[in-house]
Structures are given as C-alpha cells and as structure tokens.
Structure 1
Amino acid sequence: MRGTLFAISMTLAAVAVADDRRLIDADWRFHHGDAPGAEAVDFDDTSWREVDLPHDAGIAKEPAADAPSGGAGGYHDSGVVWYRRTLRLEASKTRPHPPGAVLRLEFDGAYQDTQVWLNGEPLGKHVYGYTPFDFDITDRFRFNKPNVVAVRVDNSAQPNCRWYSGTGLYRHVWLRVGSQVAVAPGSLWTHTERLDADAATLKVAFDVQNVAGEPVDVVARVALHDPDGGVVAETEQPLVASADGPNNVAVTLDAASPRPWSIETPTLYDLRVELFSVNPYGERRLIDEQSQRCGLRTLETDLSRGLLLNGEPVKLFGGNVHHDHGPLGAASFDDAERRRVRLLKAAGFNAIRTSHNPPAEAFLDACDELGMLVLDEAFDGWRKHKTPHDYGSHFDADWRDDLAAFVRRDRRHPSVFAWSIGNEMFERGDPETPSLAKEMAALVRSLNPTRPVMLGVNGLGERPYSDLDPLFEAVDIAGYNYEPPTMAADHARKPSRLMIATESYPAAAVESWRVVTKHPRVLGDFVWSAIDYLGEGGLGRPFLPGETPKKPWEADQFPYRGAVCGDLDLLGHRKPVSHHRNIVWERGETLSMAVVDPAAPAWGLTPWSMEPAASHWNWNVEPGAPVRVQITSRWPRVRCELNGRLIGEAATGPANDFAAELQVPYEPGDLVTIGLDAEGVEQETVRLRTAGPADRLTMVADRKTTDADKQRLVFLDIEIVDEEGKLQPSDDRVVHIAVDGPAVLQGVGSADLTSGEAYSGDSFTTSAGRVQAVVRSQGKPGDVQVTASADGLESAVVKLTFGRPSPAAPR
C-alpha cells in the first residue's frame, strides 16, 4: 500500500485551546469502478490515480447516448467510485488533560450513497448527495501513525436525479481537531433582532458540547468585531457544561453605529466565541475558540409592503440555478462558486433559488460577500419518485436528519432569506400531504424561527388551484411555478397569502414583471433558468422546421447534454434574453438589440425556449435576405439604421412590452439601433458591426495573480477575432490549450451543449467564436504560461503568477 502522508504540524496541547479545521482535499487516490476490499489498510492502491478534491468523476468522459444517466444526467458517466487517503497527526509526548482532543472527519457533500472507513473499520453511511455529514473518529485515530481513510461512493443506480448531479467527492472534506469541551460544530448562528441608524441588537445562539465525561464549569466570551477589526460589542456567559448535553447558550449583543448587510452594501462582521474552563480557584483556561462571519440585517414580510430587508421593501429579481459549473462538472471550487454569483449579480439578479437541493457552503459564502439573496431549497421530491432511483426511496428514513443538517449549516448566512422544503412534489395534491408539510415546516422553525418556510409547486392538471390551499397553509410563503395568471387571481382570492413566482418561463419576463410589480404580496420572480446547466438535456432548445418541439421527458434529445434555457450560457456569457430581462425588470439597462438566427424561417419552441438570437451581424445569408432584428427598449421609440440608411422606426416602452421587431435586408456593415425620447431626440445607441476574416486568438484571464493553492482557479476566455480585434462568431475552430508551470488545465469547453467533446481534454471547438479554459494551481509558487492555439490563427499567450498561499480561515 502506498499513500500520501498528511502531517499536521501541531501538538495536542495546541489543539486544547482552539478549534482547528483543516482542509484535506489534496493527495487522494481514486478508482472509477468497484474495488472489493479497498477499505482495508493494506489494500494496494498504487495503480489508482492521484486526484485533488473537489473531484467529479462523472465529467471526465465524452457524453454517450447509451449512458445510464440518460438525458437527465446529461448522458455523462456515473457508477461506483473509490477514494483513499492517508492522514497522520503528530501528538506531544504528554497528552493534555483535560480537555484532550476530539477528532471529526467532515464531508461537505458526496454524490451519493457514501460509505466511509477508517483503518479498515466502518465509520458509517450517508445517502443524500447534497447534505453535509461527519463522523467522530476520536477513538479510532492512531496518533503518530498513518491512518487510512477509504470512501466508496455509489452513483450506479440510474437515473436518480432530474439534472446532472456529478459523481464522487465533489465538495470539500475536512479534518476537525478540537477540544472535549467546545462550541458544537455548526451550532453557532445569529439573528438581528433590532436595527436602526444608532444601534443594533444581535441575538447569538450556540451549543456547548462536553464529552469529557463529567460537568465542567466554563465561561463563554462572545465578541462582535466590525469589518475594521474593532470590537463593537462583547459579553460573557458562565455555565456548567453538563456531560453529553446540548448546553444551549443564548446571549444578546448591542452594537452602536451598525453597518447593515444589504444587497448593495453586503457588510460582514466577525463573531468570535471563546470558551474558558474555570477551576475551583476561579482561574480560567482557554479551551476553545471559534469565529464566524455574520451580517447585521433584519428580514420581515408584510402583507401590504411585501418582503422587507432592513425595513425597506425589496422585490426579488431572481433566477433558478443548479449546482454544476459547466466544464468543471459538479466539482465545487470556492473560486467557481464566487465567480458564478458575481456574474449573476452583474446580469441584474438580486436573488437565487438553489433549485432543487442544498448548495455548496462556498456558494452561500459568496452570496454573503457579494450581496445576493438566497431562497435555500432542501428537496426536489418527497416520497413519490420522479426518477426510478431518486431520494424517494430514502425519504421517510432520512428527511428529518437531512433537513436538520441543511438548516443548521445554512442558518448562519445573512444571504438566506427563506427555506424551501420542496419542489413540484408528485404528492402535492394528496390529502395527507399538508400534514407532512406541516411537520417539515415545524422542524425547520424549531431550528430557525426567524425565516419564512415555503415550497414551490405547479398546478394539479384539471383540478383547480384552490385544491392546493391546504398545502400552502402549512407554510409561510406559497411558491407558484409558471402561474402568473393564477398568482394574480389568488392575490384577490387569498388576501392573507404571500407568494413568489418560484419558476417562470424565459419568454414571460413582461408578464411576470407586471404581476410582481402590481401585487405587493407577490414578493418576486425566479426565472427558469438564470444560467445554462448540465443535465435535463435539450430543455429550452429551438427546433427546425419539420421537427416536433418536445420536452426532454417526452423524447430523447441527444446530443444535448444540458439545458439551454438560461439567461447566461454555460460559460457565463450573457445572452440577448439577459439584456431583455434587465430592461423589463428596470435593472439598469435601457436598450438592447439582437438578431434572430435566419437559418430557419420559423423556429419551433417549447415553453422554455427562446428563438435563437445573437448580438452580432455576421450571418450566412444572401445579400438582401430579410433578417429579423429584435429590440428591447425603455425609450418610447427606437430607430434602426444599416450602413447609415434608415431601416425604420418603432414604438417600444411599457405600452409595447418594451419590444419591437424590424425586418432588415441583410448587408454586411454597421447595424445601429437608436433609443429616442418622447420628443424624438436621440438618447442611446447600440451598434453591431460585421467582423472580418478570423485573424488571431485573444485570451483574457479573470485574474492574473492569485495564491499558490490547489483550490485556486483562473478562468480564461478565449475568442477568435478579426484583424481589428472584433469577435468573429461564424468561423469556429478547434483550440488547443497548453499550460507550462505549476498549474494544470482543470477543464475546457464551449457554450455549445451539443458538442460531444470531453471537458477534461486539452482542446475544444469554439462556439460562436468562444471557448473557455480553467487553470488550477498545483500548490507551488511560480509563473505559469497558458497558450491557446488554433490552425491558421495567431496564438494567444497569458502569463499568470501563483504566489505563496495565505492561511485559509476555517469555516
């Protein structure tokens, strides 16, 4: 057996005074396929691959039409996978007593049906692929010796999800070394009870766990530090920590001159808790110390004003998001989570629904940091199956533990504004379902009574929507999927009901906007979807003449490996519909223009489809052929010109759903749309100009300097451009990526979800002139050169610098 030793440079004496949570994502050995006996300490894993987590085993190969996951899983790989890793802790010769040390092995998530062993002995199992789980390994860990962790993840029963889930240890794994008397992991959370310009009152709650075997006198010191590091409030709480008891602690902090957390200014404070043991002489000894970020913000709902954040009404301009990261698969890198939130906020969204499962914690961290509200969702379905092997088989046995783990983990985040306990459950119309919903909601409220509970459902076919009233009465907010007219009717029919459009069609931006803005009890709109995603292959695709438009569950859609109904494409680039929505929602833009693909005189669409359109003026049609130009504008009128000639004018603005369409005879050159005010004065211009022949590649990195840490990623957008540097969208070519230096190519891909290429290779074909490469640090400082090349084009080169890593703050 050969493994990589992981040495933590600490003594147990040091552990006794602080909680130490170390990321152990590096240096695992991986095998795709079952490996009987691989849990044994002396198992020979020398032929296994070396991988660093987070790791998605399902994304490496090309999609296959006969993949067991089918279109729901994007035709990607799944199966059984194994991971092994060796850990070592060096202990001091004299173990401190008390409090000793408590060791826990923590998994942020593994998809799915996971079994874990330590030194050949089973630690336990965990089924649900989206909730965290952990094991106490204190009595099984061997200090000063190698310890072998073995993990078997079984994702072979397919299909088990309605979207791409990923396979394996796709989220972080941690080793926590703490004290026998300590703040219980995951128990610390806060609630802002009062917030005004002069002062804020913060409620702090946590549990003190004691596994020392006898009661211990302790004092908890709780301090709130502002963003500049200054202490703005502190208090102390003495208690007798009983053995094996929860030892609930609740304290109040009053902070002067608070800086509120909001969407526009997401200010974060640092909350620190210190535990001191107290001997009979009154002498104190620090035994545990934990810190956590928090935001000072109040959240309320009001029937006349809607959702109130810090006392001010806020409408939710939201989008549904699945958890994959395109070419990275489901692997949850903190950098990828933060990048996605940043892109979605730049596209006008102020809220995200985590459809339909708990997200990675790093995603919520990013929402806290960047100012994005989150509708946090636990489950897609309940007892009744949506796919043959989904969570329904385990629901009755596991839902309480999984729901509790979900709430305990996420309640510390100021970005989370509501809990969703389900989505379109197949039993939503059954008479016994409201009682189940009440039980689930009661569990959520027992752990976090400060946020509303909701669920999102669609209709009941021929049955009236009023048949869902008993179900909606079990929760605080009713989520309506694709039902703007019903929401408007229920606003009058049920005057005590708060509502959210939890899903809306991409093309229904105007209709949804009118319902949301007209009715105060409709809190917001969440479009399906905010960004393209893997799985549910073909959802939102357009169909050529002669093809019958069908949804993915009605017909196989291979080679589509993903859904194309997003406002942003798979790589994070905004589509025309994103600009259209921003204008309708009045989120900062006022004029946009796009051209409908003239490859078909008319496109077949499903409710999730938009006509294929792009913001360029390079089309393969005969000169003079009519091309449809779609314009969205908040100006009363628009004027369209081609190469200086007037094409026409049209009315836009609210009375015309902010939209106009003009037929333009195609001719290369400059296509210009001008926004006109009520007096006909030109106010704004949007221009599309025909690109010349492909000349070279350009490559832009989202950053050129970062830490030398295996968790660090750099995203590089590569484009084919003409001689003037303008994107050439109609001359796609295979781009090859070479990485020289202490980094690797983590993934490469395009926005084309029909491409059969593997995201794990070193080349990919551009789509509309674009491809994206993701480079990952190998943990060593140094310079890295990334080269993008394509036949017949000048190459592009970017130099990156990975500096020495900064210490990571434990979560």
Structure 2
Amino acid sequence: MNFLSRCILTCLSLFCVLSTAFAQQNGRKRESFNEGWKFHLGHAADATKDFNYGLVNIFAKSGKTDSTAIAPAFNDTGWKSLQLPHDWAIELPFENRDNENLKDHGFRPVGGLFPQNSIGWYRKSFAIAAADSGRRFSITFDGVFRDAKVWINGFYLGGNESGYVGFTRDITDYMSFKTPNVMVVRVDATQAEGWFYEGAGIYRNVWLNSYDNLHIADDVFVHTDVKGNAATVTLEATIENQGLTAATGSFYANITDRNGKLVGKTQLQNFTIGQSGRQLVKQQLMINAPQLWSIEQPYLYHIKPIVSVNGKQTDSRDIHFGVRTIEIKPDGVFLNGKHVKIKGTNNHQDHAGLGAALPDYLQYYRIALLKQFGSNAYRTSHHAPTPELLDACDSLGMLVLDEQRLLNSSPEYMDQFERLLKRDRNHASVFLWSIGNEEGYAQTNSYGKRIAQTLLAKQRELDPTRTSTYAADLANVFTGVNEVIPVRGFNYRQTGVADYHKDHPGQPIIGTEMGSTLSTRGIYVKDTVRAYLPDQDISAPWWASRAEEWWPLAATNSYWLGGFIWTGFDYRGEPTPYKWPNVNSHFGVMDVCGFPKNLYYYYQSWWKDEDVLHLSPHWNWPGKQGQIIPVWVNTNADDVELFLNGKSLGKKIMPRNSHLQWDVAYQPGVLKAVATRNGKKINGQVKTTGAAYKIKLSPSKNVLLADGRDAVVVNVSVVDKNGLEVPDALNMINFSSLGDARIIGVGNGDPSSHEADQMDGNWQRSLFNGYCQLIIRAGKTAGNVVVKATSPGLMPGQTGLVLK
C-alpha cells in the first residue's frame, strides 16, 4: 500500500470517528446544512435584476421583506438547485480583458467590471420538529466569499465582511415549528480581498446547530504542558445560560484516546448561572506517558467537556487535540524537543475543476500529496483556512503557519483575528501565527509597528502557547513591524538573511516565501505564444529565486528555521510572467491537479530520507534524432552513471542540494540511470513509448462513504500497447458515470487552458502532456459506481467504485 493510500484510509477513519462523535453528543446536534439550496445570480448595478434589493425598504420594519428574494413566500422554483460548497465564479466563462484585477483572479468575470456576475442569492427551506421548540438554534457558515448578508423567515441576522473567516448567528428567536423556515443569503463578490483567485459564493460548509439553553460556548480552549513523562491538559470553557431563569448544574470533562478508551476525567464542578449569564471554568487533568503528536506520528486525543443538570447531560463538545511541545529559538524549531527544519509550502485554496469549493476529502488528498515529497509545513497564504484543512493537517502530521488576511487593528479586523485565533488554537498542527503579509503601506513605519503590537497583544491574550511572525518582503530592514515581531519572516530577499541575522542574532528567522521557480508540467521549451515555461529549475521572477538558490542556504545554516516554497500547487490567477492566454500561476511544484512537475523531485531528494532517483524529461522526441536533449537527474544518491540504450554516458558525483545534468544526443529507446547511495544501487529510467492505445483511470481510493459528501479524485492517462503511460498525449477524453455518484469537476493542469471546469453534462477534458483529472462526489445510496472514459481511436477505460 503506497503512502497516499494509507493517508486515504486515515481520512476514512477520521470521517467515521467524527460522524460518530457528532451523533453521540447528547443534547447537541451539529448537522450538515449543505443540501437543498436554490441559487440565482443577482446584479450589483441594477436593483430590478437584483430582486429589488436596494429598492424595497427592508429595514423599515423587522421582518418586512415583501417584493424581494428575502421574503419567505418568494417563488424560487426557477432557481438552480445545488449542494454546497458552491463557487459560482468557476462556472463562468473566461473573459479576456486588459485589466490587472481580472488577470490576477484568473480572468473570471467577477468584480466591479461585471456587476451581472458579482451578486449571488441563496435560499433554503427547512423544517424543524415542534418537539425541539424549547431548544436553541444557530447557523454556522465556515466561509462565504464575500460580504454576506443573512436572513431567516424575513428577519435580518447580520452580515459578515470577510471572505475567509467563518461566522455563527443565533436563529432561535426566528424559528417556525409549524411551517417551513426559509434562510436567505445574499453574497456580494464585487470587492476582492486578495490578488489571486478567490471564488464567489458559499464555498465552504454550512452547519445547523441545536443545543440546550444551558450550554458550552464556542470558544473552548485546550492546551497542554509536557514535563518529563507526563502532560497537564488545561481546559478553559465558558458555560452560557440563555434561559429565562437562573440555572444550576455541573461541569466536568472526559479525555479519551483515539480508540475511545477513557484516559482521565476532571473533578465535578458545580455552578449557578443567572439569566443570560456566562461563567468561565478552568480545569486541569494529568495524562501519564502520553502519546505525543508529531509529524511522523500525529496522535490525537479527544476531550469532551460536559454540562449536566440533576445528573442529566444537557450539552457536550467533542474536541480533538494533540499533546506536544513547540519551541521556536534562533537556532531552530523544536517539536517535542526534536529539531525540525521547516520544509514548507505556501498554498491558496483552489483546485482543478472545483475553484474554491472543495469537498472535505480534497483537503486530505492535497495534504497527503505534499507529504509525499517531504513537505512538513503549510502556510495558509494569505487568509483563514478551511477548518477541514486544519483537521487534515492534524490527522496526517503537517505543521501549519496560520495567517491573518490583513495587517489591521480596526474593530472589523480585530474581530476577524479574534475569531481566527479562537477557532484554530486547539489544532495541534498550528505551530505559529502570522499577523500579515507584505503590507507595503505600513510594514516599515510607525503605523505598522503600532498595529503589529496590538495584534500581538491579542494573540498572546487568546493563545499564550504560541508566538507570531510576519511575512516581510524586505532584506536587512528592522523598522516598523520587524521591530516588534517575535519571529522575522522573509519573503524572498534570501541574500539578506545572513546580514540580518548578524545584526539581530537573537531573533529567529523563517523563510515565509521562498523559491518561486516558474515551470509548466511537461513543457521543455519556452513558449511565449501559449505562455509556457520549461519544466525545470531554470526560471524565476526578478523578486524571487530558483529552488537551488534558496534551499542550500536554508539547509546548511542553523539560523534559518527553514522556509515555505511559493508554492506547493499552481493556483488560478496571478499568471507570471505572462498574461492571456495564461490564466493561472506557474509557481507550483505541482500543477492545479496535483500532478508533479520535475521540481517536485528536487525537493523530494533533499526533504525526504529515502531513496530518490528521477530522470527528466520524458524520452518521446519524434523527429529529433541526433539533437541534443538536456537531461536532468534529481537524486540524493552519492553518484550517478547514465546509460542510453546500454551505452554509458559517464558517471558524476552528486553535489548536495543540487542536481546533475547531461547533454544527450537523442535516440529512441531507454535512458537509464544507475546510482549509488550509502553503498546501495538505485535504478531509474525513462523509455520511449508507442502510440496512445488505451485510457487508464486511477482513482485515489475505491471505497466511498455514501453520505452525499465524500469524494474521490480520478487521475486519467493513456497507455501504449505495452502498458507504458504516454507522456506527451493530448487526446480529448469524454467521461460518464453510472450509479449514485456524480462528476463535479475536471482539469488537466494546463495553465493556458480555457476549457470548462464544470458542465451540466457531457463531461470532457483534454489530456495535457499525458494527464487530466476528474473529481467525483458520492451520493447517499450504497452500491456500485462505474466511471467510464472514451476517446476516438482509443480503447475505453473504466474503473469501479463502491459506496458504503
């Protein structure tokens, strides 16, 4: 079983554990609210096309929403039915205009230039049993892009400006128990927050919560202190009484291991809380000989704080946490006392075919791909991450640098920062906070210094167990933010790190953005017409560096904590150095599908302690017999000898943190490398293939949960008659599926492709240099699913899936 398959099994186990945990929380329910929505575009510049929003005075009287889409009786039968998460921007056709904002968002026509595409309306009707009329209800949106306003049964619940930080609203007072309830969300994506693809819509999960009037608030904080062979677990929780009379009850907490075995229980603590009162409780529990959370063994415990009245449980939470220590010193990051060089990646949140609306499974899939090439850390650039991303990092063993969207201490952004801290501080994977990124208008002056001090004070207040950095695109500069930030972050400018360390030896230094090699998977000649760059560590923009320029510095100097590559995956928007027809970045060590580029194997050579030997390019070069082909070898071996069709082309010593290169006169056949590592022989080869013959489908797993939410990635290639994958194939592939599962997106990693990512039917995608991909979401009916792929002139391919 390969690494990715093991990770997938871990994911399945986690999903089962979480589902069981939700079901077993007596008194509290947290139910997915993703299904049964209706959607329609509005209009940012024409109120009549925006369902009269802006024409009707909806704030004159509470609940008065007649003649708008907010009204419960509004007829939405003609609206599109869909399941969340949903990103309407990815459904739009590309728009070629010479506009910087449009370019940076992947040429998707959303924003001020496109008022007809920038407002989205969502409606959902749902019933609540009369037996639950004495309970409290709230709704949680994990992420809406952007500027969301929410109503229920015509009553306004409030708005949320951030496109990334989630929000919860109490809906108890507005619930109907006799007739269906109607929730309405208006999303305004006119204004962007970043300079990269951000999507549009309710693109993360939504949850309906129900619980007792006497309950545990959302801001539970769990942290640990390890000394010797024991750990003290501290639980801080707020008990809230939203009943109409005072309440008396008891509070305690259970800790269980990953198998549900009881590890310990806190002392029972009695309380009395007045009407609309809150009480903070703080309890501690010792775990002897704890299993420590680490990158290699990401062990998670569960803590269940419980409130009971007269011996009857009224509320509980189920929080997974890890026991571990993090120390950040000038000479390194130490996890459980062990030095860890940070081998990280920056990433935005979009994926091929899906835009920003990823099923939860895709978070695990992507983190597993990053771990496969040796990455141990993830920077959430530049925004609050999806909660399930942190769950994936917790369960798979990936450190996280968790980042605030904007360096700002106004009430709006302090509120966003506080929500981020409270939501994410229980995650074992989070080892460091970031208060911002490249704030050129503030980072070097007194504004930036004062804002940073305010944000840092809030971070220490809400999470004294960690510290913070800031991503500065500056060399040896100590003014502004850098005067007060505990950990100095460098975005590029790596040649200034040594001088900065010399001047400030007591301040830890981390590369918050490094590298930025520009490459296109499977392309080996610069192509300015199609906007492609060679798939090797050759090109970088003026402000950045190639992999072999920054990593040797970080690898060999202890004052580098390590660094984060820009980026792990390609992403939509910010095309560099080209504009149209290029619609996404070239920065990733993998493309937007997660297919590796050759740079992937450079990092794998020096980031993993296992045998690596990779040759590039492929060996299909018809018409180039006798022409020189530069051959790159990425390996961590001691030496390499290269052979073409059995003839030696010479042996070379492998320099550390580098690569080897031969100029080879092309002849079809077998190009083989024989390497020696620690006295052991390692072999690798590329081989000339025949013509494309048959389609091959490779699912990331074969068993899915029949829960309507699980998903699978199916990678597509073509093979010749000998079963060899054809690396330069460009065939158009058509897809269909039979059974209770549906295709929700397709992609191929081509940064200049203008093919549709999503379709209403007749799914298809061309191969790009041998590969394309489809993503399938499970239905709710157990049984078999067959996925088929066809293409003119090729033998069809198919794969079977099982829904359980």
- TM-score by length of structure 2 reads 0.86
Contact 1:488 1:519 in 2 (8 A): no
Contact 2:121 2:185 in 1 (8 A): yes
Match of residue 181, structure 1, among 200, 205, 214: 214
Determine if the alignment matches structure 1 residue 484 to structure 2 residue 498: no
Counterpart of 2:81, as a letter, is E
What is aligned with 2:178? 144
Determine if the alignment matches structure 1 residue 522 to structure 2 residue 579: no
Alpha-carbon distance change, 246 to 447 in structure 1, aligned in 2, over 3 angstroms: farther
Counterpart of 1:458, as a letter, is D
Q: CA deviation at 1:199?
A: 2.1
Q: CA deviation at 1:651?
A: 2.9
CA distance in 2, matches of 1:295, 1:623: 58
What is aligned with 1:190? 222
Counterpart of 2:144, as a letter, is A
Determine if the alignment matches structure 1 residue 52 to structure 2 residue 63: no
What is aligned with 2:607? 585
What is aligned with 1:293? 320
Q: CA deviation at 1:750?
A: 0.4
Matches within 5 A, 1:344-423: 344-379=370-405, 381-382=406-407, 396-423=410-437
What is aligned with 1:613? none
CA distance in 1, matches of 2:676, 2:779: 54
Q: CA deviation at 1:338?
A: 0.9
Deviations 1:395-451 (A, max 9, x none): 735101100111111011100001111000122122221011010111111111111
Contact 1:17 1:179 in 2 (8 A): no
Q: CA deviation at 1:621?
A: 4.1
Determine if the alignment matches structure 1 residue 431 to structure 2 residue 453: no
Matches within 5 A, 1:204-603: 204-235=235-266, 236-277=268-309, 283-304=310-331, 306-379=332-405, 381-382=406-407, 396-426=410-440, 427-459=442-474, 465-466=476-477, 468-505=478-515, 506=517, 507=537, 508-536=546-574, 538-539=575-576, 551=577, 557-595=579-617
Counterpart of 1:725, as a letter, is G
Contact 2:84 2:205 in 1 (8 A): yes
CA distance in 1, matches of 2:649, 2:513: 38
Alpha-carbon distance change, 178 to 303 in structure 1, aligned in 2, over 3 angstroms: same
Match of residue 626, structure 1, among 617, 621, 628: 628
CA RMSD of aligned residues (A): 2.0
What is aligned with 2:773? 772
Alpha-carbon distance change, 67 to 133 in structure 1, aligned in 2, over 3 angstroms: farther
SS in 1 for 2:316: strand
Match of residue 751, structure 1, among 749, 752, 758: 749
Deviations 1:468-519 (A, max 9, x none): 3442232221110112222122222111101110011135434433333343
What is aligned with 1:548? none
Q: CA deviation at 1:138?
A: 0.7
Alpha-carbon distance change, 682 to 176 in structure 1, aligned in 2, over 3 angstroms: closer
Alpha-carbon distance change, 779 to 128 in structure 1, aligned in 2, over 3 angstroms: same
Match of residue 151, structure 2, among 96, 107, 117: 117
SS in 1 for 2:450: helix
CA distance in 1, matches of 2:506, 2:624: 59
What is aligned with 1:800? 801
SS in 2 for 1:206: strand
CA distance in 1, matches of 2:464, 2:485: 12
Q: CA deviation at 1:715?
A: 1.0
What is aligned with 2:667? 667
Q: CA deviation at 1:382?
A: 3.7
| Structure 1, 325-334 or 483-492: larger mean CA deviation | 483-492
Alpha-carbon distance change, 749 to 430 in structure 1, aligned in 2, over 3 angstroms: same
Contact 2:787 2:799 in 1 (8 A): yes
CA distance in 1, matches of 2:121, 2:421: 29
Contact 1:455 1:475 in 2 (8 A): yes
Contact 1:632 1:652 in 2 (8 A): no
Contact 2:32 2:206 in 1 (8 A): yes
CA distance in 1, matches of 2:315, 2:175: 21
| Structure 1, 38-47 or 488-497: larger mean CA deviation | 488-497
Counterpart of 1:40, as a letter, is A
What is aligned with 2:42? 33
CA distance in 1, matches of 2:32, 2:231: 35
CA distance in 2, matches of 1:341, 1:489: 34
What is aligned with 2:33? 24
Contact 1:354 1:377 in 2 (8 A): yes
Deviations 1:513-565 (A, max 9, x none): 333334334211101011111111x23xxxxxxxxxxx36xxxx112121121
CA distance in 1, matches of 2:271, 2:325: 29
Counterpart of 1:532, as a letter, is D
Percentage of pairs with the same residue: 30
SS in 2 for 1:143: coil
Counterpart of 2:198, as a letter, is S
Contact 1:582 1:589 in 2 (8 A): no
SS in 1 for 2:157: strand
Counterpart of 2:457, as a letter, is A
SS in 2 for 1:162: coil
CA distance in 2, matches of 1:677, 1:321: 33
| Aligned residue pair count | 719
Contact 1:241 1:247 in 2 (8 A): yes
Alpha-carbon distance change, 676 to 357 in structure 1, aligned in 2, over 3 angstroms: same
SS in 2 for 1:192: strand
Counterpart of 1:355, as a letter, is S
Contact 1:232 1:256 in 2 (8 A): no
SS in 2 for 1:758: coil
Deviations 1:116-150 (A, max 9, x none): 11111211111110001121111111113211001
Q: CA deviation at 1:184?
A: 0.2
Match of residue 87, structure 1, among 118, 126, 147: 126
Q: CA deviation at 1:154?
A: 0.8
Counterpart of 1:354, as a letter, is T
Counterpart of 2:455, as a letter, is M
Q: CA deviation at 1:22?
A: 0.8
Contact 2:373 2:607 in 1 (8 A): no
Alpha-carbon distance change, 671 to 436 in structure 1, aligned in 2, over 3 angstroms: same
Contact 2:292 2:299 in 1 (8 A): yes
| Structure 1, 294-303 or 439-448: larger mean CA deviation | 294-303
CA distance in 2, matches of 1:255, 1:515: 41
What is aligned with 2:47? none
CA distance in 1, matches of 2:550, 2:271: 53
Contact 2:384 2:403 in 1 (8 A): yes
| Structure 1, 721-730 or 789-798: larger mean CA deviation | 721-730
CA distance in 1, matches of 2:168, 2:463: 21
Counterpart of 1:168, as a letter, is G
Q: CA deviation at 1:587?
A: 4.1
Counterpart of 1:241, as a letter, is I
CA distance in 2, matches of 1:83, 1:569: 32
Q: CA deviation at 1:356?
A: 0.5
Alpha-carbon distance change, 682 to 220 in structure 1, aligned in 2, over 3 angstroms: closer
CA distance in 2, matches of 1:90, 1:15: 20
Q: CA deviation at 1:633?
A: 3.1
Counterpart of 2:565, as a letter, is V
SS in 2 for 1:144: coil
SS in 2 for 1:81: strand
Contact 1:82 1:153 in 2 (8 A): yes
Q: CA deviation at 1:67?
A: 9.2
